[in-house]
Amino acid sequence: MTKQAVIIGAGPAGLTAAYELLRTTSIHPLLLEADTQVGGLSRTVNFSGNRMDIGGHRFFTKNTRVQALWDQLMPHASAPALDDRLLHRSCTLVPQGADPEQADRVFLDRQRVSRILYRHRFFDYPVSLNRTTIRNLGLGTMAEIGCSYLASCLHKRPEHTLEDFMVNRFGEKLYQTFFAGYTEKVWGRSPKNLSADWGSQRIKGISIGAVLKDLFQRTFHIQPKSVQTSLIERFAYPKLGPGQFYETLRDEVIRLGGEIRMGATVTGFTSGPGKTLSAVQYRDQQGNLHQVPGDIVLSTMPVKDLAAGLPQDWLSPKARETAATLPYRDFMTAGLLVDRLELKNETDHPTLNHIVPDCWIYVQEPEVKLGRLQIFNNWSPYLVRDPLHTLWIGLEYFCQEGDALWSMTDEDFLAFAAKELETIQVIRPGAVQEGHVVRMKKAYPAYYGSYRDFPRLRQELDTIPNLYCMGRNGQHRYNNMDHSMLSALTAVDLIRQGETNKTALWQVNTEQEYQETETQGGQNHEK
């Protein structure tokens, strides 16, 4: 009989695992997705014809397997992404000979522009050593930054905290200027109270030294052997947002014989012989309980919820306590449709309607809670219902479920977000035409509190031979899309080999060379 793999979650990792199982094994994948839309954090939300990318997801990777998967499923457009012709449906976007019905399902070639808004002025991100930075900060501050960096080179701190990690790479002055406050916005606590592991996951390879090296190579036109992800200049992006890729992947999974059940919230598991999982229990949207058999379980659900659903005696009391108290950071986006921004394009980057060219702007202004601003017109003009006359922007906030921000009504939150943009002079009063709110629970696995005991919990989870944890929440690791997908490919490799040692699975995204796509967003942050 054909074996069945129950896959929990239809995000990047879950869909990739299903596709790879169908492509390389005879195992039948059954996906259980709690939401009504695939893609997880990489979904695209459609509000009245304006599409929201929840965090900003660049399709860029140095992993050849992930790149090959992207290329298999979605061709690259043959026209420049910001060409005015893209706004006309008659434009040929697909390569010659391709199916014209697939014209919408293409990758656009995008230019990466992201900057920091601080003191009501723009700074490059990552911070660059250029005339703009010197002019905005002043020679005195630049001298302090240089001396501080030299001091950090001579006297390295033991890296116990995220503050240690950042000071070692940027110096105390630059850290205090650009990193400390923003990081506290994201995590709700000082970098002094965050593990250095977060830095090793998200900003490894980026430092003042890397910025200076990049500046030297650009100045003398030297082609680098490799490019740090936060320094890339171009990336691929689906015409209708990242969710379009995962909808394409979903359709391929179904075409190959896989099954996806939406609105299916996993509540527990049934044990089999030898401490194996034999079935997965879930509740549908009507509240009815179901149970599906599984020879293998691949989980992308939060480790906190996974542990709570396992048989009581399978984890030690300490491991259960660690899982129950694992920290997360939640996320809210306010999508606002406005007639214009008050920000002027003073760059050399061409844009439609002469708007600022940024895909996203890091908001370092201390007087607002806003963390990052997306300009969806610049990700793809097709995300916007009327890109010639309106701007569709996303305001990103980091919060905790149940706190003051999270508990606001949608109407109050949209008004609050608009007021913050007015405060920092991004829009004028009355600029907002309509808006939409998206709340994402457990968007960011956090690296503090009981996370310090996570290795022991991981070891105990690995004693369940037919359980494979993958993806961002499945591994409680701040992965981006490509690493989440790579974790799924690795899990299928192990299953195909009959391997129950999960070491290789947990080694994804632990290498020193940074090879992930910047998503935040996404929500991937470059910081």
The confidence score (pLDDT) of residue 203 equals: 56
Does 50 reside within a domain? no
Residue 56 lies in a domain: no
Per-residue pLDDT reduced to its tens digit, 267-303:
999 999 989 999 999 999 999 999 999 999 999 999 9
User: What pLDDT, on a 0 to 100 scale, did the predictor assign at position 104?
Assistant: 81
The total of other beta-carbon atoms located within 10 Å of residue 510's CB is: 12
User: What is the number of structural domains in the chain?
Assistant: 4
Res 272: pLDDT: 93
pLDDT of residue 99: 53
pLDDT of residue 85: 46
- CATH code of 426's domain: 3.90.660.10
Query: pLDDT of 405-427, one tens digit each?
Result: 999 999 999 999 999 999 999 99
Strand bridging mode 296-299 / 289-293: unpaired
The C-alpha atoms of residue 457 and residue 320 are separated, in whole angstroms, by: 8
CA distance 289 to 269: 12
Does 286 lie in the same domain as 179? no
In a domain, 19, yes or no: yes
Shared domain for 290 and 358, answered yes or no, is no
Residue 453 makes CB contacts below 8 A (sequence gap 6+) with 318, 319, 322
Is 520 part of any domain? no
pLDDT at 525: 45
The CATH number assigned to the domain holding 313 equals 3.50.50.60
What pLDDT is recorded for position 213? 54
* Domain-located, residue 55: no
Phi, psi of 95 (to 5 degrees): -60, 155
At residue 201, the pLDDT reads 54
- pLDDT for position 206: 52
Instruction: Report if residue 411 sits inside a domain.
Output: yes
Q: CA 424 to CA 419: how far, in whole Å?
A: 9
Range of the domain at 206: 127-220
Quick: pLDDT tens for 470-514: 999 999 998 889 999 999 999 999 999 999 999 999 999 875 444
Residues in the chain with pLDDT values less than 70: 1, 79-103, 198-231, 511-527
